[in-house]
Amino acid sequence: MSVDSAAVPLARVVRGDLVESVHLGHLVVLAPDGSVRLALGDPDVVIWARSSLKPLQAVGMLSAGLDEDGERLALVCASHNAEPGHLSVVEGILASAGLGVDALRNTPDWPLEADAAFERRAAGHGPEPLTQNCSGKHAGMLATCVAAGWSTDDYLHVEHPLQVALAGAVADRTGVAVEHLTVDGCGAPLFSTTLVGLARSFGGLRTDEVGTRVATAMSAHPWHVAGSGREATQFMAAVPGLVAKDGADGVYAAGLPDGGAVAFKVLDGSSRPRPAVLAAALAVAGVDAGSLGATPVLGHGLPVGSVEATFGPAA
């Protein structure tokens, strides 16, 4: 079934007293035992999970020989803002492997955070692999190759031992065979999965030592997973033990300490409804995210409406 054939409303945008627009998509909330608490649309839809796969790829890197924890492991899982504190950690991962930033093969880009981008431009820099949001993942990939004795120049090739190992980790963690393959925005191979498989993988992170290392690093260092002003950082900081990871084009996944999990795909790829949908999904799982789901709609700089999830906990 195609991603658009069974999509349902996940959020509506209200301006004044009218619904201005609606975001369709697919969503699943899993209980700690893996049973479905809520399914909207098609939870078995095949998707590109984009950067929501990074924690699973980090599991694959650790299994192949990467030896990082704490802030560095969180950065391996990150789509970071490229604020100075992010860049120094990326450089540290590379230096520990005896490599410099010239070893990075990810797509050059500006920092995601506006002030960081301004400062880099003012200092005479242009778009660089280091400041692209996936540079932590690529630094982890390179360090894994050094630890395993694999070549580094061709680490992005789909047949490289690293990428074979990471595809295996994604399939193992999701319980879904990788049936589709393409190239992600950063230049790395991208592996398909299903929405429910993505949720299952996040819910199961803490069931073994390697997954627990990833979950602990992310939940303990949320700023390193995203950065200032980012909802993944805000939600993990507010909910103890939460592991949350956004992906491009409207993908989100989150795992709870008790093994519950959430995953959704916004069909139009928009990031606008993500906080409202994530907060509502966590509420279905019994977790109160406070006011983090509140997304105002502005008129002349003042709130005149809001982005609202179309669902919530059963009465």
Query: Average pLDDT of the chain?
Result: 97
pLDDT tens, 40-59? Answer: 999 999 999 999 999 999 99
Residue-level pLDDT at 214: 98
Residue-level pLDDT at 205: 98
Residue-level pLDDT at 3: 80
268 pLDDT tier (thresholds 50, 70, 90): very high
pLDDT tens, 236-253? Answer: 999 999 999 999 999 999
| Amino acid letter for position 87 | L
Summarize the confidence of residues 101-118 as an average pLDDT: 98
Residue-level pLDDT at 261: 98
Residue-level pLDDT at 5: 82
Residue-level pLDDT at 1: 61
C-alpha–C-alpha distance, residues 23 and 308, integer Å: 10
Q: Are 254 and 243 in contact (CB under 8 A)?
A: yes
**Does the pLDDT at position 229 exceed 70?**
yes
Nearest to 225 by CA among 136, 109, 291: 136
Summarize the confidence of residues 270-288 as an average pLDDT: 97
**Does the pLDDT at position 315 exceed 60?**
no
DSSP 33-82: TS-EEEEES-TT-EEE-GGGGHHHHHHHHHHHT----HHHHHHHT-----
Q: How many CA atoms lie within 13 A of 208 on its CB side?
A: 12
Residue-level pLDDT at 207: 97
Nearest to 144 by CA among 72, 60, 218: 60
Nearest to 12 by CA among 303, 297, 250: 297
Q: Are 305 and 16 in contact (CB under 8 A)?
A: yes
**Does the pLDDT at position 108 exceed 80?**
yes
pLDDT tens, 134-159? Answer: 999 999 999 999 999 999 999 999 99
- Tell me the β-bridge partners of 262: 29, 254
Class of domain 8-309 as given by CATH: alpha beta
pLDDT tens, 2-43? Answer: 788 899 999 999 999 999 999 999 999 999 999 999 999 999
Q: How large is the angle between the packed helices 209-220 and 54-64, nearest 10 degrees?
A: 130
The vertex-31 CA angle with 287 and 45, nearest 5°, equals 105
314 pLDDT tier (thresholds 50, 70, 90): confident
